[in-house]
Amino acid sequence: MKGSIPIAAACVAALFCGCVQEKVEKKEQKFVAGSLPLPEYAPLERYKLAINLEGSRELVAGSNGTLRFSICNTDSVPVKIPEWYVNEPENIQLFCQSWFPEMEKPDENAWVPIEYEKTPEQLKQPDFRFPLELAPENRVYIDRDLRIVRVLKVSPGNERRFFVKAKLNLHSVNVESPVFAISVHSKEDEAKLEKARQKKTTTTTTATHQ
């Protein structure tokens, strides 16, 4: 009887160790097999941000169709956005729709999202983020390509018009731009427009010095 006590104790100890080992293994397997949860970015309580389309709104068919946007802090206090993408074009979601002659305003049900096109190298990298702090009236600039312009065909003397708008691709803030109108013309017309711009600049400079 006495001899059975150590045996029983050994069995209990082995069983206990087995349970502990099993729990540790399961925990390790869960850690290895699954990735850590992505951080959740709570909505900011206070922010006043404005998105504006800067520069020319005339694009050339066959080009990258690059549009430059600014994001400005219009509040009287600094704002800190916790989830700003290191690859800055990813911070903006671009939307577009054709502007047909009979349209007076865009169709709210016809917006098409223009996704950001990553390079093969960018696809291999994680989406790094960092906190971005903007002082009052400070701004950042982001270039986004309107990709449809690359394959667009426009004959000389004609143009294609589009409505575009942008929205911050973030969880902590909800900011959308006004609607902007852009036009796309041919490479031949671009040469003529460039000559007209240069002539206008020269005329303005001459008038200033007189």
Q: What is the pLDDT of residues 147-198, one digit of tens each?
A: 999 999 999 999 999 999 999 999 999 999 999 999 999 999 988 777 776 7
- Give me the chain's average pLDDT, please: 82
What's the pLDDT at 204? 52
Is 7 among the domain residues?
no
148 in a structural domain: yes
Looking up residue 104, the CATH number of its domain turns out to be: 2.60.40.10
Residue 8 belongs to some domain of the structure: no
Tell me the torsion sign for CA atoms 155, 157, 160, 165. Answer: positive
- 208 pLDDT above the threshold of 70: no
Beta-ladder partners of 185 = 60, 159
Neighbour-count burial for 68-82, b at 16+ CB within 10 Å, e otherwise? ebebbbebeeebebb
Write down the H helix ranges in the chain.
4-33, 120-123, 187-209
Using pLDDT thresholds of 50, 70 and 90, give the confidence band for residue 15.
Answer: very low
- Name the more confident of 25 and 1: 1
Number of domains observed in the structure of the chain: 1
Pick from 1-15, 42-56, 195-209: least confident: 1-15
Whether 3 maps to a domain, the answer reads no
Range of the domain at 187: 49-203
pLDDT score, position 127: 82
| Residue 140 counted as domain residue | yes
Higher pLDDT, 207 or 100: 100
Q: Is residue 209 part of a domain?
A: no
Segment 122-150 shows an average pLDDT of 93
95 part of a folded domain: yes
For residue range 117-126, what is the model confidence (pLDDT) as tens digits?
888 888 888 8
Buried b or exposed e, range 150-165, using 16+ CB within 10 angstroms = eebebeeeeebebbbb
Q: Give the pLDDT confidence score for residue 5 in this predicted structure.
A: 45
Do residues 164 and 182 make contact, with C-beta atoms less than 8 angstroms apart?
A: yes
**The predicted structure's pLDDT at residue 122:** 83
According to the model, what pLDDT value does residue 203 have?
A: 56
pLDDT in tens, 17-48: 444 443 333 333 333 334 445 567 899 999 99
What DSSP letter does each residue of 75-119 carry, written as one string? Answer: SSS-EEEEEEESSGGGGEEEEEEE--TT-SS--TT--EEE-----
Asked if the structure places residue 29 within a domain, the reply is no
